[in-house]
Amino acid sequence: MAEEAAIIARVLPSVLEVDAAAWNALLARQSHPTPFVRHEYLAALEESGSATPRTGWAPRFMTLWEADTLVGACPLYLKSHSYGEYVFDWAWASAHEQHGVPYYPKAVIAVPFTPVPGSRLLARDAATRALLLRAVQQWCEDEGISSAHLLFASDADLQASGSQAWMQRQTVQFHWKNVAPTLGTGVSSLPPEGALAALGRPGGGSEAPTLGTAVSSLPPEGTLPALGRPGGGSGARFENFEHFLATLAQDKRKKIRQERLRVAEAGVTFRWARGTDICAADWDFFYRCYERTYLEHGNPPYLTRDFFARMAAHLPEAWLLFVAERDGRPIASSLIALSAAPQSAGGQNGQELVAYGRYWGALERVDCLHFEACYYQPLQWCIEHGVDRFEGGAQGEHKMARALLPVQTCSAHWLAHPAFADAVERFLDRETQGVQHYLEDLHRRSPFRAG
Opening angle at CA 397, ends 387 and 392, nearest 5: 25
Residues 6+ apart with CB under 8 A from 238: 178, 179, 180, 244, 247, 383
Same domain, 262 and 152: no
Query: What single-letter DSSP state applies at residue 448?
Result: B
pLDDT of residue 185: 33
**Is it true that the peptide bond before 33 is cis, omega within 30 degrees of 0?**
no
Last residue in a domain, options 117, 146, 165: 165
Kindly tell me if the per-residue pLDDT of 187 is higher than 50.
no
> 168 phi and psi, to 5 degrees?
-110, 145
- Find, among 119, 167, 121, the residue nearest to 415 by Cα: 167
pLDDT digits (tens, 9 = 90+) for 66-115: 999 999 999 999 999 999 999 999 999 999 999 999 999 999 999 999 99
Q: Which residues sit opposite 356 in a β-bridge?
A: 337, 391
Same domain, 216 and 336: yes
- Who has greater pLDDT, 217 or 100? 100
Is 442 domain-assigned?
A: no
Is 434 domain-assigned?
A: no
- Mean pLDDT comparison of 187-201, 234-248, 264-278, 433-447, highest-scoring range: 264-278
Kindly tell me if the per-residue pLDDT of 63 is higher than 70.
yes
pLDDT of residue 182: 52
Confidence label for 207 from pLDDT (cuts 50, 70 and 90): very low
Distances (CA, A) of 318 to 58, 275, 281, 283, 358: 25, 7, 18, 14, 12
Tell me which amino acid residue 420 is. Answer: F
Same domain, 112 and 216: no
Sign of the Cα pseudo-torsion (244, 359, 308, 18, in order): negative
pLDDT of residue 174: 95
Kindly tell me if the per-residue pLDDT of 424 is higher than 50.
yes
Same domain, 81 and 189: no
Mean pLDDT lowest among 74-83, 186-195, 296-305, 403-412:
186-195
Last residue in a domain, options 116, 140, 165: 165
Is 414 domain-assigned?
A: no
Say how far apart CA 112 and CA 116 lie, in whole Å. 10
Question: Do the beta carbons of residue 194 and residue 242 sit within 8 Å?
Answer: yes
Say how far apart CA 292 and CA 367 lie, in whole Å. 18
pLDDT averaged over every residue in the chain? 87
Same domain, 28 and 119: yes
Confidence label for 342 from pLDDT (cuts 50, 70 and 90): low
Average pLDDT over residues 19-24: 98
Burial of 116 (0-12, 13-18, 19+ CB in 10 A): buried
When divided into structural domains, the chain yields a total of: 2
Q: Which residues sit opposite 172 in a β-bridge?
A: 408
Last residue in a domain, options 125, 143, 165: 165
Is 325 domain-assigned?
A: yes
Is 430 domain-assigned?
A: no
Same domain, 221 and 128: no
- Find, among 130, 101, 98, 112, the residue nearest to 60 by Cα: 112
- Find, among 148, 143, 152, the residue nearest to 164 by Cα: 148
pLDDT of residue 336: 97
- Who has greater pLDDT, 125 or 347? 125
Is 58 domain-assigned?
A: yes
Kindly tell me if the per-residue pLDDT of 206 is higher than 60.
no
pLDDT digits (tens, 9 = 90+) for 50-61: 999 999 999 999
pLDDT digits (tens, 9 = 90+) for 352-385: 899 999 999 999 999 999 999 999 999 999 999 9
Same domain, 27 and 154: yes
Distances (CA, A) of 198 to 209, 260, 385: 20, 10, 19
pLDDT of residue 220: 36
Same domain, 178 and 160: no
Q: Does an H or E element contain 360, and which?
A: strand 354-362
Is 338 domain-assigned?
A: yes
> 138 phi and psi, to 5 degrees?
-65, -40
**86: domain CATH number?**
3.40.630
Query: What single-letter DSSP state applies at residue 144?
Result: T
Confidence label for 180 from pLDDT (cuts 50, 70 and 90): confident
pLDDT of residue 450: 79
Residues 6+ apart with CB under 8 A from 327: 267
Residue 139 domain boundaries: 2-165
Burial profile 368-401: b = 16 or more Cβ within 10 angstroms, e = fewer: bbbbbbbbbbbbbbbbbbbbbbbbbbbeeeebbb
Same domain, 380 and 279: yes
Kindly tell me if the per-residue pLDDT of 2 is higher than 60.
no
Same domain, 133 and 258: no
Say how far apart CA 420 and CA 329 lie, in whole Å. 55
**DSSP string covering 270-326:** EEEEEGGGS-HHHHHHHHHHHHHHHHHTTS--SS-HHHHHHHHHH-GGGEEEEEEEE
Same domain, 372 and 243: yes
Same domain, 191 and 68: no
Residues 6+ apart with CB under 8 A from 58: 52, 77, 78, 79, 80, 105
pTM of the model as a whole: 0.86
Say how far apart CA 11 and CA 112 lie, in whole Å. 18
pLDDT digits (tens, 9 = 90+) for 224-254: 333 233 333 346 899 999 999 999 999 999 9
Confidence label for 350 from pLDDT (cuts 50, 70 and 90): low
Is 74 domain-assigned?
A: yes
Chain centroid to Cα 395, Å, comes to: 11
Task: Determine the longest span between alpha carbons in the chain, in angstroms.
Answer: 70
Kindly tell me if the per-residue pLDDT of 208 is higher than 90.
no
Average pLDDT over residues 262-285: 98
- Who has greater pLDDT, 261 or 345? 261
**398: domain CATH number?**
3.40.630.30
Q: Which residues sit opposite 107 in a β-bridge?
A: 78, 148
